[in-house]
Amino acid sequence: MRIEVRQNILARNDEAAAANRALLASHDVTLVNLMAAPGAGKTSVIMGTIEELRSRVGIAVIEGDIASEVDSLAIEAMDIPAIQINTGGGCHLNAGMIGTALEHLDLEALDMIIIENVGNLVCPAEFDLGEESRILITSVTEGHDKPYKYPQIFRVADAVLINKVDLLPYCDFDMARFRELVLGLNPGASLFEVSCTEERGLAAWTAWLASAVGRVG
């Protein structure tokens, strides 16, 4: 019986995701789903991405958190539209939540919407939000064994950002082994080594993102 309930939940979510995808396609807006564990640096990466792309891409952000508005206020301070979704304990965003958020954005003025999903390496991998790209951020402070422990989220990612590489000298993180594990699960994933503190690797990452969503030039 629990299997049937789960199937029904996912089926309803997929219907809402299809509606989101159709709405965004009608406005030529790309939706990007950014996933990570708590503390991996999602908001810092988003802010760095905005700085790199804002001159040529109309961007908005949907912030998903269990509680608080800290991240959305930081985005708004950059003069970027931000919609806050608080799940009240829920471990992921779903397509219905995203659909409601889209109602509060001027889609005609946008090219890209970045979702900052709830910090979690399990549930977000299962829920289609209507996105075009799924991006996973992991940090060197988390260790290089995350693909062993959370294989599904690495399998569904179009790109993996290895964040906080400025801390590599102080962490037990084997970059070669991490890359081997990720590409073993997902040979088509693009990998980027970044440091928001030192603004390292952001240009390569954002060039890939702009190309992936057709916003080159």
Mind listing the pLDDT tens digit for each residue in 49-69? 999 999 999 999 999 988 778
Give the whole-angstrom CA distance, residue 135 versus residue 146. 15
List own/partner pairs for 38-41 with CB under 8 A and 24 or more apart: 38/119, 38/120, 39/119, 39/139, 39/141, 40/119, 40/137, 40/138, 40/139, 40/142, 40/163, 41/137, 41/139, 41/163, 41/164, 41/196
Full set of structural domains in the chain with CATH:
2-212 (3.40.50.300)
On whether the CB atoms of residues 33 and 115 are closer than 8 A, the answer is yes
Whether residue 123 is predicted with pLDDT greater than 80 in this model: the reply is yes
Of the candidates 95, 99, 96, 105, the residue with the CA atom closest to the CA atom of residue 72: 105
The pTM of this model reads 0.93
Mind listing the pLDDT tens digit for each residue in 141-177? 999 999 999 999 999 999 999 999 999 999 999 999 9
Q: pLDDT value at position 2? A: 40
On whether the CB atoms of residues 40 and 138 are closer than 8 A, the answer is yes
